A and B are shown apart, each in its own frame.
Chain A
């Protein structure tokens, strides 16, 4: 099994960590090697000391990307869950890693303010927290992500299912219930399709 990187991007509170943990659990149950790099946790060790300026944010994402790259090439599914607001640096990671699946965890700012599970939006709106993505800092949406989940409209289970089935469909993880054709059957199918001009 080849590794790959599943990169969750989206604003604070959109549901990146929740979905990353759900996917982690599923993939572990399927016998895959998985490691989650959660932005909040990474900032307490790997990126300790980095702030929230553009340079520091880019450095943080670059470091997470570097670890993902190492893990991916050693057969691990590396799951990154970080706001990663800047497109350029996400794309840089994509280029370096190669087997890279970007999941855009979409949710409107209004909804995030309403949810505000960590109380951060309140602080950001009052000015207590500076450089807050979506409020006082930009978030650049991915242009061509492999997967988009809309947590405003979908339940976590729906978003989770969407991610898993897309990974199956793209061949990154083996499907659970795939009725594979035998070689003989495949040959017969080829002949049938050829006789109708489809191949």
Chain B
């Protein structure tokens, strides 16, 4: 089908993809309607601009890994920023833990060159036919760059892997300054590499948008809030930078844009492990040590990792597994009932509950969380033990949503773009486009 279409389409040979982390479709639409984003407003009229949805859980590491491989988490093996070994050790999956090939590794088999800037979950950087500058959760720029001869340049302009998110709680003025600075540096690097490298696939990801939303989303919603204008200014800057970036490039590329998940206002944090504890599924060794390490796994039936991934302590799966395969069904059903009934002052908390087989498939199904919770907007699920109550207020203003991510593609390829419904499809679209 694709090659049939290609014969009739005067194909542009290259693709530029601009990822903007955590940007809701409705937010962009609103800003465009209000005339705040002149360039994107004009651009989006020329092509397909629509809502897509992210994989579950709806967090960046899972979503971008799904995008970059075109496969679901059951196939690529990334289920969150944290994971748990069969001996109950928490670990942080990284790029080496990704069990499916990213797009650019398929492209290099066809001698296609890629430039990837700031894509989350690509740390530590590894060899690529082109350039890779890793994104979140990169901690050391020295291990975040391939080829290494780019390092002196990146250091010389003060390129940073991420903003200092600790400022988001401590000092909003400084946080905003950092956000704008990091954004500017991303585009300086993008403008240089887009000229220096003879690329086929060029991807730049902006992640500051996600940070802005975490700390200041209510400032977008409320026009009278202190940082409303700054919030809008950040988006105007994105609009300006994209316009400026594309202006200098010969128009022989297909332009795609996307976000990895949506965002909404947070009202309450909901502590999943506290719910499991209060209902007897999770036990601690002592009440003084309420932490993951403090869980008594010989007596625990189920525990959660962020945000709403529930693992049954299954025999065979875990060292001190307590749940027999035959008990599984009953426990799953009890937990589902518990969470469906959960409410805050009469308001429902959980929108959907999935068993892993319903949303994942592939080799890593056996290590996937058994139950995945999706909350109603406003209720941010947490697996942390920092609170002892079920519900808590928070300094964060925004939370992720599965729905309401966005996608844009140039209209001349409408036939190909129309099938993009979720984040995963964008990765496959690129592979199809390059016929790999």
Contact = CB atoms under 8 A, between A and B. Distances in A.
A192 interface: yes
A179 B269 CA distance: 33
Interface in B386-415: 394, 396
A179 B136 CA distance: 16
B316 A101 contact: yes
Interface string A170-199: 111001011101000110110111011111
A195 B81 contact: no
Nearest to A197: B396
Given A192-B139, A195-B169, A169 B324 contact: no
Interface in B164-209: 165-166, 168-169
A171 B86 contact: yes
A171 B87 contact: yes
Contacts of B77: 165, 169
Interface residues of A, number: 38
A73 interface: no
Interface in B305-329: 306-307, 314-317, 319, 324-326, 328
Given A98-B315, A195-B166, A198-B81, A169 B367 contact: yes
A143 B326 CA distance: 8
A47 interface: no
Contacts of B367: 166, 169-170
A199 B82 contact: yes
B298 interface: no
Contact of B319 (A99, A162, A191): A99
Interface string A139-170: 00001111110000000000000100110011
A111 to B, nearest CB: 21
Interface string B57-81: 0010000000000000000010001
Given A197-B214, A198-B81, A170 B92 contact: no
Contact of B94 (A98, A165, A166, A179): A179
B409 to A, nearest CB: 29
A24 interface: no
A100 B324 CA distance: 12
A177 B140 contact: no
A100 B92 contact: no
A61 B316 CA distance: 18
Contacts of A98: 315, 319
B317 A170 contact: yes
B306 A170 contact: no
B306 A199 contact: yes
A198 B166 contact: no
B137 interface: yes
A91 interface: yes
Contact of A195 (B168, B315, B366): B168
Nearest to B319: A99
A170 B59 CA distance: 22
B51 interface: no
Contact of A178 (B86, B96, B214, B326): B96
Nearest to B100: A165
Contacts of A195: 165-166, 168-169
Interface string A85-124: 0000001001100111110000000000000000000000
Contacts of B326: 91, 143
Contact of A169 (B82, B99, B169): B99
B38 to A, nearest CB: 31
A145 B325 CA distance: 9
B260 interface: no
A195 B165 CA distance: 6
B92 A189 contact: yes
Given A147-B366, A166-B364, A169-B367, A197 B316 contact: no
Q: Which of A99, A165, A196 has the most CB of B within 10 A?
A: A196
Nearest to A159: B363
B95 interface: yes
B124 A179 contact: yes
A14 to B, nearest CB: 18
Contact of B96 (A147, A179, A197): A179
B422 interface: no
B162 interface: yes
Question: Which of B96, B325, B384: most chain A Cβ within 10 A?
Answer: B325
B211 interface: yes
30 contacts: A91-B325, A98-B315, A98-B319, A101-B316, A143-B325, A144-B325, A146-B316, A146-B317, A146-B366, A148-B365, A165-B77, A166-B367, A169-B364, A169-B367, A170-B367, A179-B124, A181-B94, A186-B92, A192-B136, A192-B139, A192-B162, A195-B166, A196-B165, A196-B214, A197-B382, A197-B396, A198-B59, A198-B81, A198-B307, A199-B82
**Closest 5 interchain pairs by CB?**
A171-B85, A195-B165, A179-B96, A162-B363, A188-B139
Interface of B: 59, 77, 81-82, 85-87, 89, 92, 94-97, 99, 124, 136-137, 139-140, 162, 165-166, 168-169, 211, 214, 269, 306-307, 314-317, 319, 324-326, 328, 363-367, 380, 382, 384, 394, 396
Given A146-B316, A196-B165, 9 more contacts: A100-B316, A144-B314, A179-B94, A189-B92, A192-B165, A193-B81, A193-B137, A195-B169, A197-B269
